[in-house]
């Protein structure tokens, strides 16, 4: 294999090794916000499967469970069946519009705070600081020879990486089975192969992406930076270096010697040192910026130390940039957030959410779907009546057996029976019990006198016979031979 | 196109040396792990080519040292399915067919299996849903059965077929060709048609139907019964109901009397195994017209019921 360096001509290399990024520890408003969001998101991710929720004897008691085997999705009080998958589509639409909303308001805030890649990278960087020390110690260690201490520190660091990665992969599978049972089975060696495979795969990806790839994922792999650019406008808040205030850069000494000749930026490079993607925000907006705002914290700290106003690097919209460059004062952040575009996004987002909640509240838990069997369309019976066959799908979404009556209306003289009955016992309604939490398929035979239109609509309905009369109905066609 | 790469002053980066309409591309190096990933893919491909079928040849492809093939996978899967089905197939084979309804899980499995077999062997004549074709093949979904519609009777029909020339247990109904063989002239057939249509309530009694009634008594009751109610043991259809295999119009009935069509069905015991036939019977029975098995009869009643057997088959 060719040595990649051979590919480097006099004009520079075609392939470049990753430059190590060793973000410096920083404190400030946004760092604290990042801590909170990290704690909350990780707690949600690791903890959710362990919340219990009593649903009665026929359903699992895990609050959030994706039960692929039985094709059920449980989320606290809400239970989604496969045919209700449009709720998931609704959630995805809400997520999409939510992204428009957040991105057009505060730029890539998702990237900077809530994206799993960011959260876990942040976590792994804290591990680095814990084991190797802060930025300078990390750089020293990385460039130093392989001493026993370096080997020991590396071993410890990778062991912690691996533990976090394993825990992360392990938490994922808990969403797909009863968590306590799965944990026991997992360690006893009784869990399904897919469980071990998933944990292994997610451990490996967490270890590699969080431990080593880090900002390379954001810059080279992730499609969001490319897409999000299209969602922002000149009113979106972005992390911005106010070059009209900072340039030309100069040290404190220079500022004292020649007042007015230098800007506020003292060129301390703290904004670069703390950046988790290793960029220099003073070069302007760029794809590597995930708007985590740690540079704002770093710069504000330095500005406080040198006695200059904070906000040399700050959340700032393109419009504000123009205003401030011209010497004006940017409007307050709240005003930027309460603009029509965001109100429209928020309105659509809330409308979909409200519609979904309404629909969840209104949906029937005894659902009927009728399919007309078309082969044959109708059957001539020996006594002159015409029979049509229907396949009924009765979904009992409650966790108790249901007693129901199946009736028809709009079809005079109709006789009903199912595959479990017979023509002799046919009547105007069929009584049956449907098992809890399941779909029952039943063939319904409907016989009616041959006199009548060739195609006639009528209604098949279910009525609860166990105290709760609410059911469902479906209008379907009855076919007869064309009149001779 | 220029192939001279130069240093781009504003960015401090070299260009790659290409130029399109004055636009030049900066040489921004790709990450090296990208290159290593590319090499890893090549290595992966090389290993894959050795292990798995990969290289197309004139008539086949390289086999790969693992000996894997999709056909082999399929065979394994099929063998697995057969093994999984074995217990339920065995159970269906080992109980009398009339007992199937008392074992719902076996009945359900039999109906499913029969549904699959029906699609392969039966739809050509009886149609996808068993609706048959008027004038050619009987409907299996209605409540009118020439030979009986309980599970055992359907199974017997499937096993031995109808009018199978090389098989002595086949079901055989013989209706004379009254017109073609000159037993009745066309006027008599016309009167007979009137009578048949009267007893099936398609026409009002008339002089012709009265003449036909006498003809019916002389020529037809032996098989079709005194009132045209049919005799199943002979496969003689009921003439009083609304279901007509060859049509119930004047023309269709006249044709049948003139030259009966005597439908044929193959026997399936030489093509299908006993379990498949049993499953087919269960499926056909489930189509909506299946009858319950006759209640067991006391010896005296059985003797009485056996009387129609003594009627000469050819009337």
The SS3 assignment for A15 reads strand
CB spacing of B289 vs A379 below 8 angstroms = yes
DSSP B136: T
Candidates A54, A161, A2; CA nearest to A399 is A54
What average pLDDT is seen over chain A? 90
Report the distance separating Cα A149 and Cα A152, nearest Å: 5
CB spacing of B242 vs A376 below 8 angstroms = no
CB of B203 closer than 8 Å to CB of B197: yes
* Residue scoring higher pLDDT (A479 or A334): A479
Q: Give me the sign of the Cα torsion angle B6, B12, B15, B21.
A: negative
CB spacing of B129 vs A4 below 8 angstroms = no
Q: What are B20's strand-pairing partners? A: B23
Candidates A419, A480, A153; CA nearest to A406 is A419
Q: To probe the interface with A, which of B143, B144, B244 has the most A CB atoms within 10 Å?
A: B143
Nearest CA in chain B to A386: B142
* Residue range A88-112, pLDDT digits in tens: 999 999 999 999 999 999 888 899 9
Q: Does A382 touch chain B (CB under 8 A)?
A: yes
Does residue A12 have a pLDDT over 80? Answer: no
**Cα of A216 to nearest chain B Cα, Å:** 8
Element (H, E) at A164: helix A148-173
Nearest CA in chain B to A390: B288
- Name the burial class of residue A187, with classes exposed (0-12), middle (13-18) and buried (19+) by CB atoms within 10 angstroms of its CB: exposed
CB spacing of B131 vs A375 below 8 angstroms = yes
Helix A179-188 to helix A148-173 angle (10° resolution) is 130
**Cα of B144 to nearest chain A Cα, Å:** 6
Which residue from A1, A389, A450 is facing B288, i.e. has the nearest CB? Answer: A389
DSSP A214: T
What's residue B293's pLDDT? 78
Q: What are phi and psi of A372, to 5 degrees?
A: -80, 125
Q: Are strands A415-418 and A386-396 parallel, antiparallel or unpaired?
A: unpaired
Residues of chain A contacting residue B286, judged by C-beta atoms under 8 Å apart: 419, 443
> Token digits for A397?
């979404």
Q: What are A317's strand-pairing partners? A: none
**Cα of B287 to nearest chain A Cα, Å:** 9
CB of A389 closer than 8 Å to CB of A379: yes
Q: What is the pLDDT along chain B (315 residues), one digit of tens a residue?
A: 445 678 888 877 888 878 889 888 888 888 999 999 999 999 999 999 999 998 899 988 888 899 999 999 999 999 999 999 999 999 999 999 999 989 999 999 999 999 999 999 999 999 988 988 888 899 999 989 999 899 999 999 999 999 888 888 889 888 999 999 999 999 999 999 999 999 998 999 999 999 999 999 999 999 999 999 999 888 899 999 989 999 899 999 999 999 998 888 999 999 999 999 999 999 999 998 888 877 766 555 555 555 444 444 443
What are the residue ranges of helices labelled H in chain B? Answer: 32-51, 70-94, 104-121, 123-126, 151-160, 186-199, 207-219, 221-224, 250-258, 274-285, 299-305
CB of B135 closer than 8 Å to CB of B244: no
Q: Does A375 touch chain B (CB under 8 A)?
A: yes
Q: How much of chain A exceeds pLDDT 70, in percent?
A: 97
Q: Does A267 touch chain B (CB under 8 A)?
A: no
Residue B277 to residues A180, A358, B119, B156, B280: CA-CA distances in angstroms?
49, 53, 13, 9, 5
Residues of chain B contacting residue A14, judged by C-beta atoms under 8 Å apart: 27, 29-30
What's residue B188's pLDDT? 94
CB spacing of A12 vs B141 below 8 angstroms = no
What value does the mean pLDDT take over residues A454-471? Answer: 90
CB of A229 closer than 8 Å to CB of A213: no
CB of A209 closer than 8 Å to CB of A77: no
**Cα of B59 to nearest chain A Cα, Å:** 34
Which residue from A15, A423, A443 is facing B29, i.e. has the nearest CB? Answer: A15
Report the distance separating Cα A390 and Cα A446, nearest Å: 8
Residues of chain B contacting residue A279, judged by C-beta atoms under 8 Å apart: none
Residues of chain B contacting residue A373, judged by C-beta atoms under 8 Å apart: 129
Round the CA-based radius of gyration of chain A to a whole number and report it: 33
Which residue from A11, A13, A379 is facing B5, i.e. has the nearest CB? Answer: A11
**Cα of A169 to nearest chain B Cα, Å:** 23
What's residue B1's pLDDT? 42
Lowest mean pLDDT among A127-131, A198-202, B52-56, B293-297: B293-297
pLDDT category, A252, cuts 50, 70, 90?
confident
Residues with Cβ within 8 Å of B30's Cβ and at least 6 positions away in sequence, in order, are: A14, A15, A16, A220
**Cα of B60 to nearest chain A Cα, Å:** 32
How many CB contacts within 8 angstroms connect chain A with chain B?
90
- Give CA B142 to chain center in angstroms: 16
DSSP B11: T
Residues of chain B contacting residue A375, judged by C-beta atoms under 8 Å apart: 127-131
CB spacing of B35 vs A419 below 8 angstroms = no
What value does the mean pLDDT take over residues A265-280? Answer: 93
**Cα of A418 to nearest chain B Cα, Å:** 9
What's residue A354's pLDDT? 96
B255-259 long-range contacts, Cβ below 8 Å, gap at least 24? Answer: B256/B175, B257/B178, B257/B179, B257/B184, B257/B189, B257/B192, B257/B193, B258/B177, B258/B178, B258/B179, B258/B180, B258/B186, B258/B189, B259/B177, B259/B179, B259/B180
CB spacing of B129 vs A380 below 8 angstroms = no
Q: What are phi and psi of B26, to 5 degrees?
A: -80, 145
**Cα of B71 to nearest chain A Cα, Å:** 24
What's residue A6's pLDDT? 45
CB spacing of A11 vs B127 below 8 angstroms = no
Residue B280 to residues A31, A185, B111: CA-CA distances in angstroms?
72, 44, 7
CB spacing of A216 vs B33 below 8 angstroms = yes
DSSP A376: T
> Token digits for B145?
């059965």
Which residue from B35, B130, B143 is facing A423, i.e. has the nearest CB? Answer: B143
Element (H, E) at A239: strand A238-241
Residue A212 to residues A147, A207, A216, B34, B264: CA-CA distances in angstroms?
21, 7, 9, 14, 77
Q: Does A479 touch chain B (CB under 8 A)?
A: no
DSSP B171: B
Cis peptide bond upstream of A110, omega within 30: no
Q: Does A222 touch chain B (CB under 8 A)?
A: no
Residues of chain A contacting residue B142, judged by C-beta atoms under 8 Å apart: 379-382, 387
* Residue range B269-287, pLDDT digits in tens: 999 999 999 999 999 999 9
Residues of chain B contacting residue A216, judged by C-beta atoms under 8 Å apart: 31, 33
pLDDT category, A295, cuts 50, 70, 90?
very high
* Residue scoring higher pLDDT (B300 or A184): A184
CB spacing of B29 vs A1 below 8 angstroms = no
Please give the sequence-ordered ranges of beta strands (E in DSSP) within A55-192, or none if there are none.
64-67, 72-75, 78-80
Residues with Cβ within 8 Å of A154's Cβ and at least 6 positions away in sequence, in order, are: none
Report the distance separating Cα A49 and Cα A442, nearest Å: 36
DSSP A427: B
**Cα of A203 to nearest chain B Cα, Å:** 19
What's residue B299's pLDDT? 56
Q: Does A140 touch chain B (CB under 8 A)?
A: no
What's residue A484's pLDDT? 57
Q: What are A279's strand-pairing partners? A: none
Report the distance separating Cα A234 and Cα A316, nearest Å: 10
What's residue A193's pLDDT? 94
* Residue range A299-326, pLDDT digits in tens: 999 999 998 999 899 998 888 888 888 8
pTM: 0.75
CB spacing of B288 vs A11 below 8 angstroms = no
């Amino acid at each position: 294999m060719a040595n990649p360096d051979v590919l480097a001509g006099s004009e520079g290399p075609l392939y470049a090794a990753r430059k190590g990024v060793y973000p410096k520890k920083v404190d400030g408003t946004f760092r604290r916000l990042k801590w909170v969001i990290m704690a909350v998101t990780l707690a949600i991710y690791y903890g959710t499967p362990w919340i219990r929720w009593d649903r009665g004897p026929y359903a699992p008691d895990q609050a959030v469970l994706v039960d692929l085997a039985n094709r059920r999705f449980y989320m606290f009080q809400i239970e989604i069946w496969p045919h209700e998958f449009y709720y998931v589509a609704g959630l995805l639409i809400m997520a999409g519009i939510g992204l428009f909303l957040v991105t057009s308001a505060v730029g890539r805030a998702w990237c900077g705070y809530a994206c799993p890649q960011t959260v876990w990278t942040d976590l792994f960087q804290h591990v680095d600081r814990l084991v190797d020390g802060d930025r300078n110690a990390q750089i020293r260690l990385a460039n130093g020879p392989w001493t026993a201490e370096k080997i020991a520190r590396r071993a410890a660091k990778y062991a912690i990486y691996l533990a976090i990665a394993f825990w992360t992969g392990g938490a994922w599978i808990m969403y797909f089975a009863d968590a306590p049972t799965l944990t026991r089975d997992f360690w006893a060696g009784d869990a399904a192969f897919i469980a071990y495979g998933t944990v292994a795969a997610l451990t490996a990806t967490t270890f590699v992406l969080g431990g080593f790839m880090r900002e390379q994922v954001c810059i080279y792999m992730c499609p969001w930076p490319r897409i999000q650019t299209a969602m922002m406008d000149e009113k979106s808040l972005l992390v911005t270096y106010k070059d009209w205030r900072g340039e030309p850069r100069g040290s404190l000494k220079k500022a004292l010697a020649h007042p007015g000749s230098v800007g506020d930026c003292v060129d301390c490079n703290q904004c670069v040192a703390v950046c988790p993607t290793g960029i220099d925000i003073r070069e302007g907006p760029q794809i590597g910026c995930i708007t985590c705002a740690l540079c704002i914290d770093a710069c504000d700290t330095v500005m406080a130390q040198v006695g200059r106003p904070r906000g040399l690097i700050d959340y700032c919209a393109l419009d504000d940039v123009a205003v401030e460059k011209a010497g004006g004062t940017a409007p307050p952040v709240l005003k930027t957030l309460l603009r029509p575009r965001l109100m429209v996004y928020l309105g659509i987002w809330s409308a979909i959410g409200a519609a979904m909640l309404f629909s969840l509240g209104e949906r029937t838990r005894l659902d009927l779907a009728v399919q007309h069997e078309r082969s044959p369309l109708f059957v001539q019976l020996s006594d002159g009546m015409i029979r049509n066959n229907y396949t009924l799908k009765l979904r009992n979404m409650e966790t108790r057996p249901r007693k129901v009556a199946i009736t028809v209306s709009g079809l005079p003289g109709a006789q009903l029976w199912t595959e479990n009955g017979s023509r002799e016992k046919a009547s105007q309604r069929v009584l049956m019990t449907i098992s809890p939490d399941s779909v029952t398929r039943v063939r319904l035979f409907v016989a009616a006198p041959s006199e009548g239109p060739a195609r006639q609509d009528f209604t098949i309905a279910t009525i609860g016979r166990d105290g709760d009369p609410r059911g469902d109905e479906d209008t379907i066609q009855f076919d007869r031979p064309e009149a001779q | 196109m220029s192939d001279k790469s130069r240093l781009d002053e504003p960015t401090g980066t070299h260009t790659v040396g290409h130029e399109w309409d004055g636009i030049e591309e900066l040489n921004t190096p790709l990450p090296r792990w990208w290159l290593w990933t590319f090499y890893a893919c090549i290595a992966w491909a090389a290993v894959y080519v050795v292990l798995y079928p990969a290289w197309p040849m004139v008539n086949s492809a390289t086999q790969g040292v693992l000996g894997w093939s999709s056909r082999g996978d399929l065979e394994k899967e099929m063998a697995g399915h057969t093994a999984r089905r074995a217990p339920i197939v065995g159970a269906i084979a080992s109980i009398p067919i009339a007992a199937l309804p008392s074992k719902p899980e076996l009945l359900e499995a039999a109906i499913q299996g029969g549904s699959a077999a029906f699609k392969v062997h039966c739809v050509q004549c009886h149609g996808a849903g068993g609706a048959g074709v008027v004038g050619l093949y009987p409907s299996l979904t209605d409540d009118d059965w020439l030979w009986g519609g309980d599970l055992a009777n359907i199974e017997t029909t499937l096993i031995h077929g109808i009018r199978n020339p090389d098989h002595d247990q086949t079901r055989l109904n013989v209706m004379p060709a009254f017109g073609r063989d000159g037993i009745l002239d066309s006027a008599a057939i016309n009167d007979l048609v009137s009578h048949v249509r009267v007893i099936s309530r398609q026409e009002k009694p008339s002089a012709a139907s009265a003449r036909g009634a006498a003809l019916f008594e002389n020529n037809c009751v032996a098989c079709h019964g005194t009132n045209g109610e049919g005799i199943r043991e002979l496969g003689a259809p009921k003439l009083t109901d609304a279901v007509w295999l060859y049509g119930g119009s004047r023309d269709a009935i006249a044709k049948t009397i003139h030259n009966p069509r005597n439908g044929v069905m193959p026997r399936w015991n030489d093509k299908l195994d006993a379990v498949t036939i049993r499953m087919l019977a269960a499926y056909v029975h489930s189509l909506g017209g299946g009858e319950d098995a006759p209640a067991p009869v006391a010896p005296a009643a059985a003797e009485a019921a056996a009387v129609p057997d003594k009627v000469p088959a050819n009337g």
